[in-house]
Amino acid sequence: MKKLLALSILLAVFASCGDADTYEDIENKSEVPDPGTDPVAMTYTKNVKPIIDANCIGCHRAGSSRALTTYAQVKASVESGALLARIQLQTGQQGIMPQAGRMAQTNIDVIVKWNADGLKEN
């Protein structure tokens, strides 16, 4: 009976090893922070700029009156409330940014968390 108990404990230990992350999982996790749970603060350079570059600067380019190409500009737009309000509208609603439709929720979450984290540059 003792042997059986020892064996089942051993089996349980091995079985739990099977749930361990693969190297690929770990790599993916470090590259794509989960805004819902990641305790690390979002920064402009690492997390926000790539989203703005991919979704906004086609229209909000450097030199235009509503440029969003520098840290100061994006920070000011978030602080004014305009940027967060616009990106959280629904597709089709007046004023939604990007104009073509709402971004993936992950992108929106990153920018919302960046604001909550204190709008750090780096």
Binding mask 83-122 for ligand HEC (x = CB under 6 A): x--xx-------x-xxx---x-------------------
Distance CA 67, CA 22 (A): 42
**Shortest distance (Å) from residue 89 CB to ligand HEC:** 10
Query: What count of other Cβ atoms lies within 10 Å of the Cβ of residue 59?
Result: 13
Q: Are 78 and 70 in contact (CB under 8 A)?
A: no
Distance CA 120, CA 41 (A): 8
Residue 33 or 102 having the CB closest to ligand HEC: 102
The token pair at 111 is: 């920018």
Site for ligand HEC in 8-47 (CB under 6 A): none
Region from 6-14, 22-30, 42-50, 77-85 binding ligand HEC, contact rule CB under 6 A: 77-85
Residue 97 or 110 having the CB closest to ligand HEC: 97
User: How far, CA to CA in Å, does 54 sit from each of 57, 77, 78, 85, 116?
Assistant: 7, 17, 17, 19, 22
**Shortest distance (Å) from residue 101 CB to ligand HEC:** 10
Binding stretches for ligand HEC (CB under 6 A): 55-56, 58-60, 66, 77, 82-83, 86-87, 95, 97-99, 103
